Amino acid sequence: MSLEQSWVESANARDHDFPIQNLPYGVFSPLDRPDAPPRCCVAIGDMALDLAAIEEAGLLRPGGARGVFAAPALNDFMALGPAAWEAARARLTDLLREGGARDLRDDAALRARALVPLSRARMHLPFRVAGYTDFYAGRQHAWNVGVMFRGPENALPPNWLHMPIGYNGRASTVVVSGTELRRPLGQLKGPDDAAPRLGPSERLDFELEMGAVVGVGNPMGRPVSVSEADEMIFGHVLLNDWSARDIQVWEYQPLGPFQAKAFATTISPWVVTRAALEPFRAPSPPREKPLLPYLHEPGPMLHDVRLEVALAPEGGEETVISRTSSRELYYSSAQQLAHHALCGCAMQTGDLLGSGTISGPERDSFGSLLELTWGGKEPLTLKGGARRAFLQDGDAVVMRGWAQGEGWRVGFGECAGRILPAPDFAG
């Protein structure tokens, strides 16, 4: 992709997350107008472009006479489908590029209404989450966890190399970056305890993931190919699948994660479109076992998104504790979606698919504290001397991601959350 410039000067910085090549979608409300309803936007440089304002001005109308952007979620726009997404991206690029259409640039009054500094914008959950499924598609993470709990001879479950496995999570507790969350309560039972007890999780963790956002669904009873699944995906977010490891280890057999995962999932406020990530396609790794034909890929389906995790104790400086890439996944989002729909499951606009923890091959590229501290046995030392095996109250976790081009990058912003003490509950 060319090094195209925008007349919004801040979008042309080489290390900015939101150049004209990106144009991620979000939902915002202006901080100086607390009663204003949330509405859809795209990020360009250090500004949010109010899509409802330019829709009202007639400069962008993907829904025709029916407006889709004066809404607190992207769902109505996403439901229009890939042709509408492509046309809107082309029109927005033309409105914002240097030398493009001058309708917005030359209209000072509209420009003043429609361009809001991100520093004065409150970001909201970008779409209504219809359903949430979390997969387990990172081989290194699956191997690490298996080695810890079952040993290297049985590290991967028997089905793992044949299909993307996952579980259905809670859409109701998916929250936007910046939301603080309570340490969860649950049943805890040590290996030598005679019975479980009720208490706050003592082994609270993060999981570094990507999330795929389904833009259009499939009818109940109709499977989709990997190629069709790829076309159904509107875009991607950063995702933190917060995990209570001690609650999880007691409850997960025989039906898998439940309360240990249900208390919170954090996503970035910006949905980076599939089109923006197209230049960063990456091939899947060699298959250790042949996949059934329905999971065959027509071409590269992964993306090379550079990822990092930073941890900051309350009042302390942040330390980057992990760096990896989304190309480390074994199964792509399109394969996950195709497998999900195989049984006839109806996917819907606004469904969210978590990738599973993304870990690279080296210790400093692991995507969870469980792995980074090897089950808590080897705590990390942070800047300032604090040590962490698992998260403590007041800790903030910040995830960042970007795909690097030549002279520009497509970024996701931040996916951040801070841990508050557990609620006061006697049971």
- Model confidence at 162: pLDDT above 90: yes
The response to whether 209 counts as a known ligand-binding position is yes
The response to whether 252 counts as a known ligand-binding position is yes
CB 272 within 8 A of CB 236: yes
The response to whether 348 counts as a known ligand-binding position is no
pLDDT band of residue 426 (cuts 50, 70, 90) is confident
DSSP classification of residue 308 = E
Residue 3: predicted pLDDT: 81
Q: What CATH number does domain 9-123 carry, 2.30.30.230, 3.40.50.2300, 2.60.40.10, 3.40.50.300?
A: 2.30.30.230
Catalytic, 141? Answer: yes
The response to whether 150 counts as a known ligand-binding position is yes
The response to whether 107 counts as a known ligand-binding position is no
> Considering only CA atoms, which of 417, 421, 414, 413 is closest in space to residue 178?
417
Does this chain's domain 9-123 share its CATH topology with 132-420? no
The response to whether 25 counts as a known ligand-binding position is no
pTM above 0.95, yes or no: yes
pLDDT band of residue 1 (cuts 50, 70, 90) is very low
Domain chopping of the chain, boundaries: 9-123, 132-420
What class, spelled out in words, does domain 132-420 have in CATH? alpha beta
Q: What is the pLDDT of residues 224-273, one digit of tens each?
A: 999 999 999 999 999 999 999 999 999 998 999 999 999 999 999 999 99
Residue 427: predicted pLDDT: 75
For the record, the structure tokens of 127 come out as 């779409």
CB 139 within 8 A of CB 285: yes
Q: Which of 16, 124, 141, 339 is catalytic?
A: 141
Q: What is the pLDDT of residues 93-142, one digit of tens each?
A: 999 999 999 999 999 999 999 999 999 999 999 999 999 999 999 999 99
Beta bridge partners of 44: 47
Q: What is the pLDDT of residues 352-397, one digit of tens each?
A: 999 999 999 999 999 999 999 999 999 999 999 999 999 999 999 9
Phi-psi region of 246 (alpha: psi -120 to 50; beta: other; left: phi over 0): alpha
The response to whether 253 counts as a known ligand-binding position is no
Q: What is the pLDDT of residues 332-353, one digit of tens each?
A: 999 999 999 999 999 999 999 9
